[in-house]
Structure 1
Amino acid sequence: MDMVFTSLDDCYSMYVKYAKDCGFSARKGTTKTNSKGVLHIQYYLCTRAGVYKDKKVDTFDPNQKERLVRSNFSKRTDCGALLGVIFEAGSWKLQKHVIHSMSKLNLGPVKAFNVMKTCFGSFEDVGASKVEFKNYKGYAMVFVSFTGIDNHHCNVTFGATLLASETADTYIWLLRVFLKVVGSQPKVIVTDQDPTMKKAISVVFVDTRHRLCMWHVMHKLSLKVGVRLCNSTNFKERICGVVWTDILTPEEFESEWEVVIGEFNLADNDWLSDIFALRESWIPAYYRMEEMSGLMRTTSRLESENHFFGQVCNSKATLVEFMTHYETAIEAQRHMHRKNDHESRYKRPQLKSNYQVLEGQTADIYPKNIFCDVQAELIGIADCIIQLYED
């Protein structure tokens, strides 16, 4: 977007190379002149841009002078790949850069079009219609990310995509692409209660344990049972105490749940009945012995991810702005991962427990963040033993 060229030949060479890297070929398109007849806009297109129109030739007309050509299948598919360059201040610049720069100043597409009309003198000299400005500015796609946990127990983005819709077929296509890239199915996948995603996972990730995010389920609690009940009683505290713990067996959970539901007369609440029916998909009691079960219990991880992508996703942003923000955010995430790797490899943590031989061995094995959790457990064990002897 920020590229500037001294000649049209340089512009064309760049776009030809870009097209080749992207898997298509380019050709020169139409040009625009200003009110003085000077060339100031040049378009470059995909070779498959436009639609081929057959010429009607009357073969019975003796005066027909056009050479007859055998009909051929057209290779033009009305491809919309387009680059426009504009002559400005002695050099050629990418035209959409102007729209992008105006969007940074919070100027909408219509205002941007009117500004350019004023700059160039007429609507014809702008080189694009008001609708094309709106199409460039408009951005209404669904952002989907694949997030996991790295060896430092931090969120890491495996990949992301933009979808035009959220149908089951779209998600099936997306998961198949992800599977092709990664090469194997994930052991556990956690999503919200989206039914289309659930269907897609069952089709593509047949060997994966699909769990529902506890935070998404419990986030609806006040809305579904009433704000007054949650704020004026200890219902929320009681139900969260049953849901979030992983020390209960399935039988104990069901018993405790019924006690709380009965005490607050909520047996007729349809939403509570529905999520109870799905309990094996989101309640820790039913998968506490499975690997990675802790992924479903934490709220801070999801809140952190929402904040991370909240800086990227903006419904008012252009596609170019989104990509710029996304690449910056991902680079920051990668930088933090490299920093954690460096500190784990070259910095020795301070040993604090009474089991420093064991603690030292864990420091050699685990990354820094994981070691901190192990260290806290070792300190806790020591405190328990001391307390036992004191008693």
Structure 2
Amino acid sequence: MELVPVLTEDTHSSNHTFTHDLTFDDIDNGGYEIIDVCALPSQFSTSQSRVRVDDDPIMLPLVNVHSSCDLQHVVPVNDYNVSGNIDLTGLPSSDVDIRPSVPTFHNVQTHDGEDVPLEDCVQTVTSTHVQSSAHTNVTPQLRLIDVVERGHVSSHVYASPNGTMFWKPDVSDEFKPSLDVVYDTWEDVVKMYRLYAEKAGFTTRLGTAKKTKTDKTISHRHIMCNRASKPLFRSSNTGATSSLIKRRRRTKSKRVNCKACIRVSPIPGTTKFQIYAFYESHNHSLVEKDNVDLTRKRRNLGFYEQNFIHKLSLNKIGATKAHKLQCAIKGGPQNVRGTATDYKNFARDVRIYIADRDAELVVENLSSRVLTLNNFYFYHEVVDGELRFLFWADGVSRCNYEAFGDVLAFDATYKTNQYGMIFVPFTGVDHHTRSVTFGAALLVDETIDSYKLLLQTFLKAHTKQPLLVLTDQDSSMKSAIKSVFTESKHRLCMWHIMDKLPSKISSEELENTDDLRASIHELVWDLIIEPSTFEERWHTLIASYKLENHTWLKNMYAIREDWVPAYFKDLSMSCLMKTTSRCESSNAMFKVNSSASNTLVQFLMCFDTAIDWQRYHQREAEFASDMSTHSFKTDAPIEIHASVLYTSALFLKVQHEIDRSTNRCIISGTSIVNGITHYKVTHFNPKREIIGDFQVDFNPNDNSASCTCMLFGRLGYLCRHIFIVFHFNKVDRIPEQYVLKRWKRDALPKWVHSIDHRYSADNDEESKLRNDIIDMVVCCADRLRSRPDKLISLRDEISAIKDRVFEDIPNDPPCNKKDAVISGFYGKVRSGPDNVPFVPPNARHKGSRSDKRLVGAREKAVKQHRKGPRRCNECGKIVYDHDSRNCKKVAAAKAAAVAAAAVESAASAAASTIISA
């Protein structure tokens, strides 16, 4: 390569030209001292001088040689075939001896005002010796002042003559960016520089891409240190009209105008890229090893962390607690990717994604299940662009209702979503005596029409009406049930009624309310008395306490047929549920997973999680029934037969009846009428005191039997009185007509427990494979806990596998992008000309107009007397309402109240006197 320097004076002076031939042979001969030069973009220049290589737009860095002039020395990097004239404009006619030291770090000004340091990454050559009328020795050098070792990251620290500090990372050459390498794709460049940054102890960010003015193709792109650029502090307007009156936000900036970067340009005519500039040194310290987990790259959440946050959110665990759990699992925050703030930011991004498309997302989610899941039922209504009604029931729920839908309970619950929509689950009892859900709905209000629509939709999904429907005292529910469930018997929850008794009958009306409450409880909970007996005892009880005119008691007696068990004794399975406690228990189960801040689509997923837990417990009970054998309390063959027929939960109840038949009952009399034997069975308590006599009618021809206690009709299994008659007649097996299908082991088909019907389960092939891989790695690590050498080998093998995977797939796939991950969790809104957007409602349910609920006198009294009385050290009395700190204040308040009452009484008396006069 041959360069021809041309030295020219300013255009206003006489021109002097100095030409010198310089070759690399001259450099090799050692006739010149070494300086650092680097090829830079065309915008580099100063007011005093310019340098060009022929017409090539590349401009080169400055070396300060004199206070009155700048010298630019041009050596194109990695191109030894370029030669040309170097034009130095503005230099005086003087001898200049250029001897910059190595490495040199100078700053030059670009047209956009940026300071760019000369780095030791450039091609080094020998300086030319320019002779003129005078000689100037220039040695602008940096002093090496420290070598910092920070774990696996080390750096050399230099100081300039004016005290500016620079940190040069000490990284192996195999990881450093090279100007000789050609990269196939832009992503390969990014990956290379990020790997180098990780080794060096800093993080990167992408700079702007600049395009040509002609065809708008990218001319060059930058990847820079994340602390590049000058700090930018945003101001927040306080509302003043003048733009000058602004309040600076309390923000921090990581930017310190660091110039470390690489500059990349595409190779013309190809899709490949090449680095044309590499700036290695930083103007800030590098990241310590112990703080690597706080860098932006390590804080970037992967799919594993995002999925972890999502899964825990479905179990009412927020982002902050999710981060704490992850720290506990992985042994500290230093081992966790991302901070608590990053976790919260992802939860925020989820809310932003859902936003106004919430109603459409939940409808699209449920609609897709109709297409992909067998026997899934879904119905919704949109009125005036608002989602007003949702009902859904999957195939398992419909199968459960087919088997256990004889008794149905439902109750409204609130605060499950941020729109105030009322959640109404339908609940029953399965063959393990556990609660089971038949379907669910979201309503916008609790009017009669809304409940009618709900029950009509329920009937379309399940086709048959229940025998018994249990609710609270809601009048809208009652009217809707009467209108829609015409074949069902409606029953009110006994617990809700009896719970009101203490607040309805206070001590002011009756001196001893405890005796009354105990007597009423004993009467209404009697399951075997006749309705006429109940009415007679009720009147006697009310008269004895002189409460014949009590309004609430009169109202409850007027609707006695809707809640007293005596009026339901002839109804099949009438005592399976007497209260809505199962509904409230189910509602509480759903609220365990959900919260009032949830969107609709989030609530749906929380509902799915709760349903999966409910079905898991059902499957667990099913497994226990199939795989366990019970111990027997008697030697009766009928007990063994019962253990084969029934589930474990039901067998324990039947076993109890069989056991009591042998030690608590005796046959005290018999008679035969028309071939039917009538047995009188006397029932004893543990003290051998007679509880009562029951009649059992037994037909020896078909072993049919009935008892006046009517347990079989009320609960669906035989009583102890019938079992003693069976034992007496040597009946060793429970007759088939007394084995209800709903209590048998095979009440449900096996497919209902399939993983395909578990909504929160990762049952797609990709998730199964990921979980299998994780399980295998964990199992291997657990097996090698006491073998550190083997653990090291395992780690190395997994690391090698990781390297191969990342070599095959060097870039993160699009499915791992945050938006793609979130849309994978919550779905997408269907687009098209026929798609009309709609939004969730602003629901107002009963009692929602106040944040405070009404509190009864009983609850107030309980809260007031929750703490026991204690002695006041001031007045010496044992009191509830004060202590020594506020004794005088309370006493003064009481005295003032007494005085005010006295004044009011005196005023009333005086007024009465005046009126009389």
The TM-score with structure 1 as length reference comes to 0.62
Q: Percent identity?
A: 36
Q: 1:151 aligns with which of 431, 434, 444?
A: 431
Give 1:297 deviation, angstroms.
2.9
Counterparts of 1:340-351 in structure 2 under 5 Å? 340-351=621-632
Decide which structure has greater helix share: 1
Where does residue 501 of structure 2 map in the other structure? Answer: 221
Q: 1:383 aligns with which of 643, 663, 672?
A: 663
Q: Does 1:260 align with 2:474?
A: no
Q: Does 1:294 align with 2:575?
A: yes
Give 1:253 deviation, angstroms.
0.6
Give 1:335 deviation, angstroms.
0.9
- In structure 1, how many angstroms separate the alpha carbons of the residues matched to 2:584 and 2:452? 26
Instruction: Judge conservation of contact 1:190–1:213 (CA < 8 Å) in 2.
Output: yes
Instruction: Judge conservation of contact 2:505–2:513 (CA < 8 Å) in 1.
Output: no
Where does residue 191 of structure 1 map in the other structure? Answer: 471
The 1:225/1:318 distance shift into structure 2, 3 A limit, reads: farther
- In structure 2, how many angstroms separate the alpha carbons of the residues matched to 1:209 and 1:376? 30
Give 1:240 deviation, angstroms.
0.4
Q: 1:140 aligns with which of 416, 420, 423?
A: 420
Give 1:150 deviation, angstroms.
0.9
- In structure 2, how many angstroms separate the alpha carbons of the residues matched to 1:252 and 1:237? 18
Where does residue 609 of structure 2 map in the other structure? Answer: 328
The 1:255/1:378 distance shift into structure 2, 3 A limit, reads: same
Residues 70-117 of structure 1: CA distance to partner in whole angstroms, max 9, x if unpaired? xxxxxxxxxxxxxxxxxx969999xxx8xx89x9359xxxxxxxx99x
For 1:104, give the aligned amino acid.
Answer: G
Residues 173-199 of structure 1: CA distance to partner in whole angstroms, max 9, x if unpaired? 111111111121111111111111111
Give 1:309 deviation, angstroms.
3.6
- In structure 2, how many angstroms separate the alpha carbons of the residues matched to 1:171 and 1:247? 34
Q: 1:170 aligns with which of 450, 461, 479?
A: 450
Q: 2:441 aligns with which of 125, 136, 161?
A: 161
Counterparts of 1:224-373 in structure 2 under 5 Å? 224-226=504-506, 233-297=514-578, 301=582, 304-312=585-593, 314-354=595-635, 356-373=636-653
- In structure 1, how many angstroms separate the alpha carbons of the residues matched to 2:443 and 2:463? 22
Give 1:222 deviation, angstroms.
1.8
For 1:148, give the aligned amino acid.
Answer: G
Give 1:347 deviation, angstroms.
2.0
- In structure 1, how many angstroms separate the alpha carbons of the residues matched to 2:506 and 2:514? 11
- In structure 2, how many angstroms separate the alpha carbons of the residues matched to 1:325 and 1:231? 48
The 1:146/1:343 distance shift into structure 2, 3 A limit, reads: same
The 1:232/1:169 distance shift into structure 2, 3 A limit, reads: closer
The 1:378/1:134 distance shift into structure 2, 3 A limit, reads: closer
The 1:310/1:248 distance shift into structure 2, 3 A limit, reads: farther
- In structure 2, how many angstroms separate the alpha carbons of the residues matched to 1:386 and 1:252? 26
2:428 counterpart SS class: strand
Give 1:373 deviation, angstroms.
0.8
1:311 counterpart SS class: helix
Count of equivalent residues:
288
Instruction: Judge conservation of contact 1:244–1:297 (CA < 8 Å) in 2.
Output: no
Give 1:303 deviation, angstroms.
5.5
| Larger displacement relative to structure 2 (313-322 or 265-274) | 313-322
Q: CA RMSD for the aligned pairs?
A: 4.2
Give 1:341 deviation, angstroms.
1.7
Give 1:259 deviation, angstroms.
2.0
The 1:146/1:134 distance shift into structure 2, 3 A limit, reads: closer
- In structure 1, how many angstroms separate the alpha carbons of the residues matched to 2:430 and 2:543? 42
Q: Does 1:104 align with 2:318?
A: yes
- In structure 2, how many angstroms separate the alpha carbons of the residues matched to 1:138 and 1:162? 12
- In structure 2, how many angstroms separate the alpha carbons of the residues matched to 1:317 and 1:90? 23
Give 1:360 deviation, angstroms.
0.7
Q: Give unpaired runs (5+ residues) of structure 2.
A: 1-207, 210-298, 321-340, 346-350, 362-416, 669-681, 683-687, 690-917
For 1:174, give the aligned amino acid.
Answer: L
The 1:234/1:243 distance shift into structure 2, 3 A limit, reads: same
2:576 counterpart SS class: helix
For 2:625, give the aligned amino acid.
Answer: S
Give 1:224 deviation, angstroms.
1.9
Between 1 and 2, higher relative CO (CA 8 Å, sep ≥ 6) is seen in 1
- In structure 2, how many angstroms separate the alpha carbons of the residues matched to 1:324 and 1:194? 29
The 1:159/1:346 distance shift into structure 2, 3 A limit, reads: same
Residues 126-164 of structure 1: CA distance to partner in whole angstroms, max 9, x if unpaired? x97xx9699998331101010011122221011111111
Q: Which is higher, the Rg of structure 1 or of structure 2?
A: 2
Where does residue 279 of structure 2 map in the other structure? Answer: none
Residues 357-387 of structure 1: CA distance to partner in whole angstroms, max 9, x if unpaired? 0101111111111111111011111012579
The 1:265/1:105 distance shift into structure 2, 3 A limit, reads: farther
The 1:221/1:310 distance shift into structure 2, 3 A limit, reads: farther
- In structure 1, how many angstroms separate the alpha carbons of the residues matched to 2:648 and 2:493? 27
Where does residue 675 of structure 2 map in the other structure? Answer: none
Give 1:313 deviation, angstroms.
5.4
- In structure 2, how many angstroms separate the alpha carbons of the residues matched to 1:212 and 1:256? 21
Instruction: Judge conservation of contact 2:471–2:580 (CA < 8 Å) in 1.
Output: no
For 2:653, give the aligned amino acid.
Answer: D
The 1:302/1:144 distance shift into structure 2, 3 A limit, reads: closer
For 2:624, give the aligned amino acid.
Answer: E
- In structure 1, how many angstroms separate the alpha carbons of the residues matched to 2:661 and 2:581? 26
1:294 counterpart SS class: coil
- In structure 2, how many angstroms separate the alpha carbons of the residues matched to 1:214 and 1:227? 23
- In structure 1, how many angstroms separate the alpha carbons of the residues matched to 2:446 and 2:485? 18
Instruction: Judge conservation of contact 2:534–2:566 (CA < 8 Å) in 1.
Output: yes
- In structure 2, how many angstroms separate the alpha carbons of the residues matched to 1:246 and 1:303? 23
The 1:308/1:180 distance shift into structure 2, 3 A limit, reads: same
Instruction: Judge conservation of contact 1:352–1:379 (CA < 8 Å) in 2.
Output: yes
Counterparts of 1:55-134 in structure 2 under 5 Å? 104=318
The 1:177/1:321 distance shift into structure 2, 3 A limit, reads: same
Give 1:323 deviation, angstroms.
2.8
Decide which structure has greater strand share: 2
Instruction: Judge conservation of contact 1:250–1:285 (CA < 8 Å) in 2.
Output: yes
Instruction: Judge conservation of contact 1:224–1:271 (CA < 8 Å) in 2.
Output: yes
Give 1:287 deviation, angstroms.
1.3
Instruction: Judge conservation of contact 1:214–1:296 (CA < 8 Å) in 2.
Output: no
Where does residue 40 of structure 1 map in the other structure? Answer: none
Where does residue 76 of structure 1 map in the other structure? Answer: none
Instruction: Judge conservation of contact 2:494–2:564 (CA < 8 Å) in 1.
Output: yes
Where does residue 181 of structure 1 map in the other structure? Answer: 461
Instruction: Judge conservation of contact 1:282–1:296 (CA < 8 Å) in 2.
Output: no
Instruction: Judge conservation of contact 1:212–1:296 (CA < 8 Å) in 2.
Output: no
Instruction: Judge conservation of contact 2:432–2:649 (CA < 8 Å) in 1.
Output: yes
